[in-house]
Homo-oligomer: A and B are copies of this chain.
Amino acid sequence: MISSDIIRGYTDTMILFIVSCGDSYGYEISKQIKDISDDNYVMKETTLYSALTRLEKNGFITSYSGMHDGRKRTYYRITDEGSRYYKEKCEEWELTKKVIDNFIEV
């Protein structure tokens, strides 16, 4: 299980990746992160929801209400600005990998 201080700085990117594949909502995003990471990372609920709030406040996602089986859901959609930010983060990631690799002994 990966510790949070290492993922920190990529929670937003993970979420943006998922919503860039199609609109989604908190609970589902949470499960998808667990799946995509092969159970190596589980994002805590509070971390996820506060990240969603932050991302919306920053204009990277927008929300709308939906209903499913009598339960309310808040769906999120990525914005153009969110897509640009996501692409930047992907490039930054490639650089980060190279940099940290220099400090790692194989």
Q: Hey, which bits of chain A sit against chain B, CB under 8 A?
A: 2-10, 13-14, 17-18, 20, 36-38, 40-41, 86-87, 90, 92-100, 102-106
Leading 5 A-B pairs by shortest Cβ distance:
A5-B9, A6-B9, A17-B103, A37-B99, A14-B103
The quantity of this chain's copies bound in the complex is 2
Q: Return the chain B residue nearest A6 by Cβ.
A: B9
* Residue numbers in B under 8 Å from A103 (CB-CB): 10, 13-14, 17-18, 36
- Report which of B5, B14, B97, B99 forms a contact with A8, defined as CB distance below 8 A: B5
Task: List the B side residues contacting A104 at CB < 8 Å.
Answer: 13, 17, 90, 93-94
Measured CB to CB, the nearest residue on chain B to A102 is B36
Are B95 and A40 touching (Cβ within 8 A)?
yes
- CA–CA, A97 to B18, complex, Å? 18
Is B96's CB under 8 angstroms from A2's CB? yes
Shortest CB distance A50–B (Å): 14
A92: chain B residues within 8 A (beta carbon): 2-3, 6
